[in-house]
Amino acid sequence: MEPVCPLDYRYGRPEMKAVFSEASRLRYLLQVEAALAWAHAELGTVPTEAAKALQAVADTPGAVTPERVKEIEAEIRHDLMAVVRAMGEAAGPEAGKYVHLGATSYDTIDTANALQFRDALALTRDGLRRLRDAMLALADEHRRTTMLGRTHGQSAVPITFGLKVAVWASEVGRHLERLAECERRVLVGMMSGATGSMAAFRGKGLQVQALVCRRLGLGETTASTQIVQRDRYLELLAHLANIATTLEKVATEIRTLQRTEIGEVAEGFDARKQVGSSTMPHKQNPITSEQVTGLARLARGFLVPSYENAVQWNERDLANSAPERFIHPHMFLLVDHCLHKMADVLENLRVHPDRMAENLGRAQGLMMAESVMIALSEKGLGRQEAHELARQASMRAIAERTHLREALREEPRILDLLGEGGIDQAVDPAKYTGPVDEIIDKVIAETKDL
């Protein structure tokens, strides 16, 4: 069958695809079933040799195949029972009769989810760290590269490019902190049995669950219905959506700054071979940032059905099952893909300080009106009066299409209070970027080891 989903042939890294492949999913399920048999053996309810045989099946590639599971499912029309029967076949009749003892389907499925999430989150952490490192390198390199700050799409006061990127890095640092906090609540297993009562374990349910989770290196639920409660999954998926939003924000900023009329940064471009447009030979488009923008929006789109999946009839229903088969792999694959694409962009970003300086000059000093207001207030003027004087000078500079410096010199009170030297100082962008070194150093210190 030809691939249909673009994740199969266009997007997504092999490492994350391997975590969510059909074969990997089967291995996670088999490991949970083997851990359940081991727990029973520890408590004396399953022979030790049977538990060892089942663990051997779980550990042996190809002992149970997706193809055999599908054959059984086609006959019995139950996906997890097909895994149970296939495992029993592989282990032999004596060990096979102990597979899935006391458990219900979602004891295995949701515990396997936790194993899968653990591996996927490890890759997500790697991606966040790569992105953080690229950002910290840019922030450090360009801590003094002065540029226009912009608000409402208009020139504001100056900032440095390093500060802009440090803000992004700080956000990525918080995502790393959230990931660690989220794992504690998401990476949990369960062995609650039907409806969550653990009755089928004959008084040993709490011990069985604790042993299974210990064997698998997971936390455990304190109380559950027949499924792990989806508030845990919602926290995870909302975290992924949050990461996607940061990536889109950074991508949008790069796209904005790469506009022809701004031209302050640009994605890497191989001028020897790369084609920017099928019809316009000169084009160098921010295609990777645009891709990240679109895929981040798609990733966030999976949140709505995720919230709806958390609403179950009584102790459980099956309405969440099919959507989650789409949601979990798609969200992880999309976010992982975007993380590494954005890291590629930042690692190869072309930064143009000369163009930043040109754009500062083109603003005719108007971005320094606040600096003038502060300088006047330091000379004894009230803040409101200083604001009005700077505003009037700014309006005159705009109307006359002249530099703010000239408009300030034409105002006797300003010239008297500041003098020409003070005016020159007040309109110098490089002298009005604040404690940028301290801010960037603090961001680096706070995030570099997360």
Over residues 298-311, the mean pLDDT reads 93
* Active-site entry in 277, 278, 321, 403: 277
Residue 277, pLDDT > 80, answer no
pLDDT of residue 218: 98
Alpha carbon of 299 to those of 126, 248, 296, 321, 346: distances in Å? 19, 11, 5, 19, 21
pLDDT of residue 109: 96
pLDDT tens for residues 377-411? Answer: 999 999 999 999 999 999 999 999 999 999 999 99
- Assess whether 346 and 415 both reside in one domain: no
Q: Round the average pLDDT of the chain to a whole number and report it.
A: 95
* Active-site entry in 142, 152, 306, 394: 152
Residue 371, pLDDT > 90, answer yes
- Assess whether 192 and 284 both reside in one domain: yes
Residue 79, pLDDT > 80, answer yes
Q: What is the DSSP string of 323-365?
A: HHHHHHHHHHHHHHHHHHHHHHHHHT-EE-HHHHHHHHHHTTT
Other beta carbons within 10 Å of 8: 11
- Assess whether 337 and 228 both reside in one domain: yes
Active site residue 21: no
Q: Which of 11, 68, 57, 8 is nearest to 33 (CA)?
A: 57
Q: How far apart are the first and last CA of the chain?
A: 43
pLDDT tens for residues 114-128? Answer: 999 999 999 999 999
Active site residue 197: no
Provide the b/e sequence for 335-344 (b: ≥16 CB within 10 Å): bbbbbbbbbb
* CA–CA separation, 57 and 99 (whole Å): 11
| 72's tokens | 């059984």
Residue 270, pLDDT > 80, answer no
Cα of 7 vs its chain's centroid, Å: 18
pLDDT tens for residues 89-113? Answer: 999 999 999 999 999 999 999 999 9
Over residues 317-330, the mean pLDDT reads 91
Q: What pTM value is reported for the model? A: 0.94
- Assess whether 86 and 40 both reside in one domain: yes
Instruction: With respect to residue 296, please indicate whether it lies within any of the assigned structural domains.
Output: yes
- Of the residues 357, 388, 413, the one at which a domain ends: 357
Confidence of residue 278 (pLDDT cuts 50, 70, 90): confident
Over residues 408-417, the mean pLDDT reads 95
Instruction: With respect to residue 376, please indicate whether it lies within any of the assigned structural domains.
Output: yes
- Assess whether 290 and 376 both reside in one domain: no
Residue 319, pLDDT > 90, answer no
Over residues 351-361, the mean pLDDT reads 97
- Of the residues 305, 332, 357, the one at which a domain ends: 357
- Assess whether 276 and 383 both reside in one domain: no
- Assess whether 341 and 249 both reside in one domain: yes
pLDDT of residue 7: 92
Confidence of residue 283 (pLDDT cuts 50, 70, 90): confident
Other beta carbons within 10 Å of 399: 9
Q: Which of 253, 258, 251 is nearest to 352 (CA)?
A: 258
